[in-house]
Structure formats: C-alpha cells, structure tokens
Amino acid sequence: MRKLLAYAGTALVIAAVLSWPMADPSPEGERRQGDYHEECQSEGCDTEELRELHASYASECLDEGCSPEEVIELAGHPDAVDAMRAAFQQHGWRIDPKHFPACRLELTETSCALLALLCKDHYLCLDGAQESAWYGCGFCVGIGSCAAGGGGTKGAR
C-alpha cells in the first residue's frame, strides 16, 4: 500500500511539473512573441501581431536560414503553417517557399510515464524526415509506449 501511495504521489508531482508554466527567459520589458496558431487562429490577431510574427520569421529564416521545424515552431502547429504562409503572402510580405515544404504526418509515437502521456510526431517532408519534440498530449496510467499511424498532410504545400 505504501508503494502505491508513493507511486501516486510521484505521478502527481510529475503531472504538476509538466503543467507548470515555464519562466520567460526574455529580458524584462521585452514582449514574448507567441505563435501563429495561438495568436491568430485561436485568438484572432490584428495586422500588428501578424507583422510581429513575420518579423520573427524574417529574422530567423530570411536573415539566418532556418529548418522546416523552426517554421512549424513559429506557426505553433504543423497544421497552421499553410495558413501562416498564406497570411504573409496576402499582406505582400516576403517569404521563401523553401521554408514551407510539403509534409505528411507518418506516425505519432506515444509514451506513458505514470500519468503523463507524451507524444512525438514524425513527418515525411520533401526535404526528408522531420520529427517534433516530445510534448504533453494527455494523461494515462502506467509506463509504456506505442505508435499510431498518421496520414493527414501537414505543413505547407
């Protein structure tokens, strides 16, 4: 019984740590930039917010060069990449099509660590295989992993 309580307590601590908001490492006074999915698709963004997202894209990708994973990170979700690209183009802002490759979800790998369900998406893109970082995607009981097939088109075309 003590082991069961210890496991349950550990699981609750892990769940609390995974859901705890991360500290913003940016200098005080500097506004932390969100992503396209959060700012525009979920909340609805104005032209100024969209301009800030494009400035981030231009700085990271046009000035320095970036990977498709970085574009997906700025978009906030692979499904938001196409919409972000279209919004930038609609305003006449510069993009580089090579940063928006066609990707298809091939597999979502899952892992259960006590109560935290973790997922990692694997994509097949024109420029090779890509994978997301592990992210929290739910709750579960036990320890283990499995994989589920994908199939939808992800990213931009």
Q: Is residue 125 part of a domain?
A: yes
Q: Is residue 11 part of a domain?
A: yes
Q: Is residue 26 part of a domain?
A: no
Convert the pLDDT of each residue in 66-98 to its tens digit: 877 788 889 988 778 888 988 999 999 999 887
Convert the pLDDT of each residue in 1-60 to its tens digit: 666 555 555 655 565 545 544 433 333 333 345 789 888 988 888 999 999 999 999 998
Long-range contact pairs involving 36-43 (C-beta distance under 8 Å, separation at least 24)? 36/74, 36/75, 36/76, 36/80, 36/83, 36/84, 36/87, 37/75, 37/76, 37/77, 37/79, 37/80, 38/76, 39/76, 40/83, 40/84, 40/87, 41/76, 41/80, 41/83
| Domain housing 147 | 2-15+35-155
Q: Is residue 109 part of a domain?
A: yes
Averaged pLDDT score across all residues of the chain: 74
Convert the pLDDT of each residue in 136-152 to its tens digit: 888 887 665 554 444 43
- Does 128 or 8 have the greater pLDDT score? 128
Q: Is residue 28 part of a domain?
A: no
pTM, rounded to two decimals: 0.49
Q: What is the tally of structural domains in the chain?
A: 1
Q: Is residue 27 part of a domain?
A: no
Interior angle at CA 137, CA 135 and CA 138, nearest 5: 140
Q: Is residue 89 part of a domain?
A: yes
Q: Is residue 91 part of a domain?
A: yes
